[in-house]
Amino acid sequence: MPIQTRRSHDGQTLIIKIEGRFDFSTHQAFRDAYEHGGKDIRGYVVDLSEATYLDSSALGMLLLLRDYGGGDNAIIAIENCNNDVRKILTISNFEQLFTIR
Amino acid sequence: MDEPAAKSGPLNILIADDSDSDRLILKTLLRRLGHHVLDAANGHEAVALFGSGKPDIVLLDALMPAMDGMETAREIKRLAGERLVPLIFITSLSEAEDLARCLEAGGDGFLSKPYNRVMIEAKINAFNRMRLMHQALSDQRDLMHERNRQLLEEQHVARRVFDNVAHTGCLDAPNIRYHASPLSVFSGDVLFASPRPAGGMLVFTGDFTGHGLPAAIGAMPVAEIFYGMASKGFDGSDILREINQKLVRILPKDMFCCGAMVEADFGQNQLKVWNGGLPDGWLVRSRTERFSVPSRYLPLGILNADQFNAEMETIRALPGDRLLLMTDGVLECSNEEGQLFGEKGVRLAFENVASGRHPFDTLLNGIQRFTGRQKFGDDLTLCCLEMVDQVGLTALPDGAAPSTLAGPAEWRCVYEIRDRTLGEFSPLPLLLHICMEVPGLRRKSGEIYTLLSELYNNALEHGVLELPSEWKYTPEGFGRYYSERATRLGRVNGHYIRFSFHHEPMQWGGRLGVVCEDSGQGFDFHNHPVLQSTEMEQSGPRYAGRGLVLLKRLAESIRFHEQGSRVEIVYDWYF
């Protein structure tokens, strides 16, 4: 499965894990993940430890998640990026919108 | 689609059997089932009847003289082409090898003699279902082909409209070299270049998310904004803000445009740059001196107007310096092993440059060597802007044909900006616009803008801010000048700049009077070397001097009052 979701221990954070290529083909699955993630979610974590590749449609999906999660008030962290993925996020200056760790 | 399980409607069935009696029995049987029958006594007749009668199903005796069953079957299948016409062999053969040969010749099934009415009916229905399903699939496939062809044609037309918009302006100027995606690929990259009314240039490189039509559609309004505002004298930051706002409004949340804006001022030897989301730009001064322009901002179309930062970085750049901009297509070029060119490839290409070679050629050659292909440029956009001497550049051609609209012939206008507004707002586009209402001045937008621009910059930098222009002409002083400028603009208090316009019609055309006053100390124009001398040649880098020379050349007359903090210009235009 390219997308897996689970909740944090306190149940308030939805953790979405992406495996393989994070591109246009993941679009629907990613949306389903956060739209049907359940109630009372305060924040999101996108786990990219097993993501191999990120393109501009993935950046777009992150923007959609941010909009869904409250726009400027959304709490979203992007974790465990490899160097290539990190580089793409840096060039786009996405750390101005997301916490990147 | 529901396949009818019961009997089908009447079908056209072709039968071929050399035995007259067998043929008659079969014909009667089929007619009783409600079908139309064409009957042939041998293979040749069967083929002829197939062509003329266009049956839905064929029942063929496997053993016939002259053209035997196999041969007939092959011929009939060939004539049928893509259409599925079930072909059933009638045979008393039972050897597996013989039956296999029948199928290889094109047969779809078997019927054995003696005839069994129930079996025949069942087989005909079964094969008819197969035939109908095949027909449905074929029709749908043809429909899809046609729709696809229409879509491709529409895309092609859209692409031509897009190209009239996306790669335009002054990209063919002698100091610009570029490589943009060819017609066959809709990559969402744009490249715009425009001269500015008072000289200098604006260049914008953009990369919209996605591919194809959705990516390209965003380019249209952006092009209009860019060229419209550039021709009116707006600067790079103003245009960026407007583009960002437009894209935020029209693009869906997951779409945006990575872009870079460059404002080149040849007269002042400087470049202003803004990079939001594109790979590093490179300013190449010489073989060893390179300076990167990294992306510092989010791409366009993401942040709201109040969060968007259009501040451009100022870099000193002399004639001969070259700025390279690229979209990520350059970094994503791959070789046969699937490795990407990347930033490493760009650096290596520059390091291997032979002295005197143009960095644009160097980079393209580097990409070509890496990918090993001649035709690599399908999806990359690369642009190189070279700094030139102001004089060397051809001026903006005098504007459009005079409009049929009548305009104001006799009018006055006073516009004053004070305090903080002095640092935050340039009144030049607005003031130009007011002057352009006069039909006779429309052809002269370049000269008018230059006049207003010189007056304003003189008033602001030398009058209000009291910045010595000499600082700008050394590398150390350059940074100092701009940081001091920013500081002093923050402290502006009780200062103003006031423009007063007066226009009246004349027998030979019209006369525009412009008075520019500022609240500064002014300068000693009585002893000013430039204003006293009759020579136009400038020996030292005195911007104030250079600007005043320009004013003298463009205007009918120029007068200074009150220590130069009040300048009066008269500009005449002729029919």
Residue B458 falls within a domain, yes or no? yes
Q: Say what the pLDDT of residue B348 is.
A: 84
Tell me the nearest-neighbour CA distance from B294 into chain A, angstroms. Answer: 8
Residue B158 falls within a domain, yes or no? no
B439 plus B333 within the same structural domain: no
Tell me the nearest-neighbour CA distance from B279 into chain A, angstroms. Answer: 7
Closest residue, chain B, to A89 (C-alpha): B277
B424 plus B549 within the same structural domain: yes
Q: B376 falls in which pLDDT band (50, 70, 90)?
A: low
How many structural domains compose chain B?
Answer: 3
Q: Say what the pLDDT of residue B534 is.
A: 41
Q: Which domain holds residue B332?
A: 170-386
Q: Which of A57, A67, A91 lies at the smallest CB-CB distance from B209?
A: A57
Q: Say what the pLDDT of residue B5 is.
A: 40
B292 plus B174 within the same structural domain: yes
| CA gap B97, B105 in Å, rounded | 12
Residue B371 falls within a domain, yes or no? yes
Q: What percent of chain B has pLDDT over 70?
A: 87
For this complex, say whether ipTM is above 0.90: yes
B557-561 and B566-574 as β-strands: parallel, antiparallel, unpaired?
antiparallel
B379 plus B416 within the same structural domain: no
Compute the residue count for chain B: 575
B562 plus B474 within the same structural domain: yes
B38 plus B118 within the same structural domain: yes
| Residues sharing a CB contact under 8 Å with residue B40, sequence separation 6 or more, in sequence order | B14, B15, B16, B46, B48, B49
Residue B400 falls within a domain, yes or no? no
For residue A40, pLDDT beyond 60: yes
- Whether residue B423 lies within 8 A of chain A, CB to CB, comes out as no
Q: What is the pLDDT of residues B11-59, one digit of tens each?
A: 999 999 988 998 999 999 999 999 999 999 988 999 999 999 899 999 9
Helices B96-104, B69-80: crossing angle, 10 deg rounding? 30
Q: Say what the pLDDT of residue B199 is.
A: 84
Listed range (B338-342, B517-521, B533-537) with the worst mean pLDDT = B533-537
B380 plus B432 within the same structural domain: no
- Given B138, B153, B185, the domain boundary residue is B138
CATH, residue B236 = 3.60.40.10
Please judge whether B209 and A60 are an interchain contact, meaning their C-beta atoms are less than 8 angstroms apart. Answer: yes
For residue A24, pLDDT beyond 60: yes
B201 plus B342 within the same structural domain: yes
Q: Please compute the mean of the pLDDT values over residues B100-125 and round it to a whole number.
A: 87
**Which residues does residue B14 pair with via DSSP β-bridges, in sequence order?**
B38, B58
Chain B residue numbers with beta carbons less than 8 Å from the beta carbon of A67 are 253
B455 plus B549 within the same structural domain: yes
Q: Say what the pLDDT of residue B545 is.
A: 57
Chain B residue numbers with beta carbons less than 8 Å from the beta carbon of A92 are 258, 277, 295, 298-299
Look at residues B223, B343, B192, B203 and name the one whose alpha carbon lies nearest to residue B273.
Answer: B203
Q: Please compute the mean of the pLDDT values over residues B159-174 and round it to a whole number.
A: 77
Residue B163 falls within a domain, yes or no? no
Residue B150 falls within a domain, yes or no? no
CATH, residue B100 = 3.40.50.2300
Q: Which of B254, B278, B279 lies at the smallest CB-CB distance from A61?
A: B254
Residue B115 falls within a domain, yes or no? yes
Q: B259 falls in which pLDDT band (50, 70, 90)?
A: very high
To the nearest 10°, the Cα dihedral for B192, B301, B379, B237?
30
Q: Say what the pLDDT of residue B279 is.
A: 94
CATH, residue B541 = 3.30.565.10
Q: Say what the pLDDT of residue B399 is.
A: 46
The b-or-e profile of B331-370 (16+ CB within 10 A means b, else e) is bebebeeeeebbeebbeebbeebeeeeebbebbbebbeeb
Q: B339 falls in which pLDDT band (50, 70, 90)?
A: confident
For residue B515, pLDDT beyond 60: yes
Q: B523 falls in which pLDDT band (50, 70, 90)?
A: low
Q: B103 falls in which pLDDT band (50, 70, 90)?
A: confident
Q: Say what the pLDDT of residue B525 is.
A: 53
Average pLDDT, chain B: 84
Q: Please compute the mean of the pLDDT values over residues B559-574 and round it to a whole number.
A: 86
B415 plus B375 within the same structural domain: no
B360 plus B471 within the same structural domain: no
Q: Say what the pLDDT of residue B261 is.
A: 98
Average pLDDT, chain A: 90
Q: Say what the pLDDT of residue B394 is.
A: 45
Domains and CATH numbers, chain A: 3-100 (3.30.750.24)
- Whether residue B209 lies within 8 A of chain A, CB to CB, comes out as yes
Q: Say what the pLDDT of residue B183 is.
A: 53
B132 plus B271 within the same structural domain: no
Q: A33 falls in which pLDDT band (50, 70, 90)?
A: very high
- Model confidence, pTM: 0.74
Interface test with A, best of B189, B253, B325 (most A CBs within 10 A): B253
Closest residue, chain B, to A67 (C-alpha): B253
- Whether residue B338 lies within 8 A of chain A, CB to CB, comes out as no
Residue B394 falls within a domain, yes or no? no
